[in-house]
Structures are given as C-alpha cells and as structure tokens.
Amino acid sequence: MFFASVIGMIVALMMLSPSKMLSLPAAGFIWWFRGTPALVQLILWYNLSLIFKDITLWLPGLGTIFSIPTNTIMTPLVAAVVALSLHEAGYMAEIIRNGLKSVSRGQTEAALCLGMKPSLLLRRIVIPQAMRVIIPPTGNETINLLKTTSLVSIIAVGDLLYSAQAIYARTFETIPLLLVVTFWYLVVVSIMTVGQSYLERYYSRDEAGHDSAPVGLSRLGLILTMREKWRGAQ
C-alpha cells in the first residue's frame, strides 16, 4: 500500500497539472490499471519474460551497461508487489486527486497572499482538509488490497492462503484450514478497521458534535490574527 500511495500521489498531481503532457499520461495510467483485473495484471507481470527475455540498460556512446535475464529480477514476489502496487495506485490516484480538489481554491490563494510558503500551505491548510476526504476510501482500499493478496497464491507466492493450500494438500483437512485462514483475515481486517476509525476521528475532530469552520479556515484565521497582532506590535 505504501508504494501504491506514493505512485498514486504522483499520478494525482500529474492529473491536476494544467499541462496535457502530464495529465494525459496520468489519465492513461488510471484507465489501464483500474480497467484490468488484478489477477490478469499478476499473471502478466509474472510472465513478463515471455515478452522481454532480458532487461538491458543501453546508453548512446557507452553501449550496453548491463543485461540481466528478466526471470532473475521478476520473481513471483516481485511480480506480486509490482502488480498489486500499480493496480492499487490507479485507485489511490483518484482518491488523492478528489481529496486535494475538495479544498477550496480561495483558502490557498489567501494563504499565498499572506506570504505562506507552498510547503507550509500544503502541510497546514491543504493536507488536513484533504485527509478527511482521503482517509475513508483509503482505509477501504487498504482492506480490499489485503484480501486481494490472496490472489498471489496463483503465482506461487507463499501467502496465508498458499500456505494453507500446501498443508491441506497433504492432510486433506481443507475446510478446517480454510476456516483458519478466514479467521486470521477477519482479525487483521478488524484491527485495520479500528485504526481507520481512529484516523477518521482525528481528522474530523473539529466537526464533532457541532458545525464549525473547516480546519483549514480555522488555521488560516489564526494565522491572520497572529499577523495582525504582529503588525500592531510594530
């Protein structure tokens, strides 16, 4: 999920760019990885060596720097990480983009007019408000991704389901072992659900029980007040 979030953030920023050279490739990325099943992507990356026998780095004037057989790099585990990260990044890009767009432009323009640096603006004004929109679907996607990892047993990655299959193939205790797998998935998902609820509560703390100004506006108002006091002291 970490790789998916990082890639999703980059793609989301590209989507928000006014440049077509950035937004169009980002839109194509989302279209491809959201539009194809995770299982198909897993099998495709696992069989990448059928398309590219070797992964080669070639530079003009220097020739071939290195050439490695694709199967050496694209192990089942690497194929699983790459496929699931890119698949989930397509969804995360849309989640993050919608979260960033939920912050009104007037707040960012006002903060910039006050001389606030873009990095501080992002940290103090944009992200706290965007997170309230981003956290709920991100939590759901994280839980879905956890359950989707059961697909990696298809390409012989030793996850929970694959281990259970290896055991019941010898003992023939299919149902008991599948119930054990189900139990552990429920335990982990329950823990993640509790963590998600705490995060949602943290980022929505200014709205609990009453109608209040958005957190970004509150902080922007505090900055304005402090600025006026500083000017008055002069």
Joined together, the tokens standing for residue 7 give 């890639």
Q: Which pLDDT belongs to residue 233?
A: 46
Give, in order, the Cα–Cα distances in Å from 51 to each of 9, 44, 45, 203, 226: 29, 10, 10, 46, 61
Q: What average pLDDT values come out for the chain (234 residues) when binned by 10 residues?
A: 85 84 88 88 86 76 74 84 90 86 76 75 77 83 85 80 85 88 90 84 62 49 51 50
Among residues 233, 208, 229, 207, the alpha carbon closest in space to that of 218 is found at 207
Q: Which pLDDT belongs to residue 221?
A: 55
Tell me how far apart the alpha carbons of residues 196 and 144 are, in angstroms, rounded to a whole number.
Answer: 13
Segments making up each domain of the chain, as ranges: 2-233
The residue behind tokens 């070639």 is: 58
CA triplet 7, 8, 11: central angle to 5 degrees? 85
> What is the CA 165 to chain-centroid distance, rounded?
30
Query: Can you identify the CATH homologous superfamily of domain 2-233?
Result: MetI-like (1.10.3720.10)
Reported pTM: 0.72
Joined together, the tokens standing for residue 50 give 């059928």
Q: Which pLDDT belongs to residue 207?
A: 53
